[in-house]
Chains A and B, each alone.
Chain A
């Protein structure tokens, strides 16, 4: 089923309707943005499970987390720009990383917390150590699926932050290829995401 969805995505990329009035060259892939993106994803994929491990499944219903989750990327970027001292110059990649984590972490922590099983009465009754071991086991099992489900989103959804902060990255590359109708480039994007998904499936094999 998953492969069918990716095949559909590939078909959509190759058959993207529309054309450009005046031909425009597709952008050069932003290789220099790959490092910061990998760093951001790595930070996110460590911080979110760690916070979920600390807070447990009850985090999913915590109001402060919901309040932090509510503002869209746009507001985080605007807030960062507003408080960033002008004498420091544009926020650049550091600012982008902070805004990305601020925008994504609360939602991801809730996603993980919501997927965790309830802890009352067990393992709560067995003590703190048992609770922490159960959370660790659960999060280890969840990690692969979570990355597979969320990674494509965070790889491409940084577009809003990139546009406002003036830090072109993978989201901008994706959108520019849509704008110039670079169907081949978009197909490669879909293929790479499909391969990442397939890899996450192999990490996440259910044991009998």
Chain B
């Protein structure tokens, strides 16, 4: 009997020892199922993370927002707008074959022709031509080369006829209930052994996993952001993300919202996650804070306004309640109507709303704001147009050009949308894991996760 008790005690003690298997693997979580890794059809934020780990685009974007080399070691912009890329010779797909110009051509043609290709990537490549010249791939597009280059950072190159195969710094494997990436021999020289994602859609589940040490990286619940466990450290970073309100009622409601957003949100509700927006477009993309200049006086109450918003985000809901209270002080009844995300998207696309808001994650380049203004722009929900738009757009060659100020001034006269909040990424990161944050997050820049390392 004594021996049995001793054996049971030993089994129990050994069960309490930590598992040694994933010491160098970064444990991460995804809030949504990214779907199968597919460089042609995949199109979501989570899919973009997967693709950035398992694939290489021709160029990358550094944490400071500049275009850097990735699959292409160099490129040359010709007078006719054609960009010719020189590919690295030391890049290989997971099956061992090297990346060639024909893979670039196939990927871009597949994105343009495949009926289910990613709409985001197809929009980037709209009316683009692609070809091979002296063994080097080239791309030409009606878009300015500066814009095209930045947007190409979102188009990883797949192996010809294998939309699921990339050449990135990590090899992808789908395990039951997990998306697993393991380090490869790659020019970015990744230094962590691997990254393992689990699907954890529930914020409380993420919080528990962080506190129990089951996640190396994770976003804490808003109200407990500063209670960092001793195993982790807090990292905050402004993001290219805003809570944006569109108005079908003209500029007047947006003028009111611009007025209210200054003092509507109590700091304890905002926490570290958000701060009131100041301008019309994201300051993280280099835009100056610009106010609405419609020339009209601020409307007076009483009046009722109905605002649709995506249901399910508790912190956004509380902030909108604070906004409603601020509106009430000016005699306005701001009615808040939660809608499921899919139904809200439908209402936006069918222009069936007075005011509607949604969180927008902008692409990491200033041309992304044209989505508000261009006739078929994915965020032009009210059919905004202006005769000067086309002419100004042709002069937007590089970030920082003076034409950007003209464009913003044009929008400021009659905007269709206004940001209420600028979001900030707040994450807990394992104390021993060294990462480089950027407005694009931890993954989507170059080198991204390949630049992480464990501190000995």
Using a CB–CB cutoff of 8 Å, the interface residues on chain A facing chain B are: 17-28, 30, 32-33, 78, 81-82, 84-90, 92-93, 163-168, 172, 176, 178-181
Contacts and interface: CB of A to CB of B under 8 A. Distances in A.
Given A18-B342, A167-B177, A90 B209 contact: yes
A26 B35 contact: yes
Interface in B1-41: 15-19, 29, 32-33, 35-36, 38, 41
A23 B345 contact: no
A89 B214 contact: yes
A22 B120 contact: yes
B387 interface: no
Given A87-B17, A165-B205, A166-B209, A25 B36 contact: yes
Interface string B330-364: 00000000001111011011000000001000000
Number of chain B interface residues as a range: 35 or more
Nearest to A77: B205
Given A18-B340, A20-B345, A86-B213, A164 B35 contact: no
Contacts of A172: 33, 199, 201
Given A18-B343, A172-B199, A166 B35 contact: no
A85 B177 contact: no
Contact of A166 (B15, B198, B343): B198
12 contacts: A17-B343, A19-B345, A23-B43, A24-B47, A28-B35, A32-B177, A89-B19, A89-B214, A163-B202, A166-B198, A168-B33, A172-B201
B32 A176 contact: yes
B248 interface: no
B346 A19 contact: yes
A97 B176 CA distance: 15
Contacts of A25: 35-36, 38, 41-43, 47, 116
Contacts of B17: 87
Interface of B: 15-19, 29, 32-33, 35-36, 38, 41-44, 47, 116, 118-120, 174, 176-177, 198-202, 204-205, 208-209, 212-214, 340-343, 345-346, 348-349, 358, 378
B36 A78 contact: no
Given A21-B345, A89-B19, A167-B177, A81 B208 contact: yes
Contact of B342 (A19, A86, A88, A163): A19
Given A87-B16, A166-B29, A166-B199, 18 more contacts: A17-B343, A19-B345, A19-B346, A21-B378, A22-B120, A23-B116, A25-B36, A26-B35, A28-B36, A33-B176, A81-B208, A87-B18, A90-B214, A164-B204, A166-B200, A172-B199, A180-B35, A181-B342
Nearest to B205: A164
Contacts of B15: 85, 88
Contacts of B198: 90, 166
A82 B424 CA distance: 30
A19 B349 contact: yes
Given A23-B43, A23-B119, A25-B42, A168 B35 contact: no
Nearest to A26: B35
A16 B265 CA distance: 36
Going nearest first, the 10 A-B pairs with the smallest beta carbon separation are A18-B342, A32-B176, A86-B212, A25-B35, A163-B202, A166-B200, A18-B343, A164-B205, A21-B345, A166-B198
Contacts of A81: 205, 208, 212
B32 A179 contact: yes
A23 to B, nearest CB: 5
Nearest to A84: B212
With a 10 A CB-CB cut-off, give which of A28, A78, A166 has the most chain B CB atoms: A166
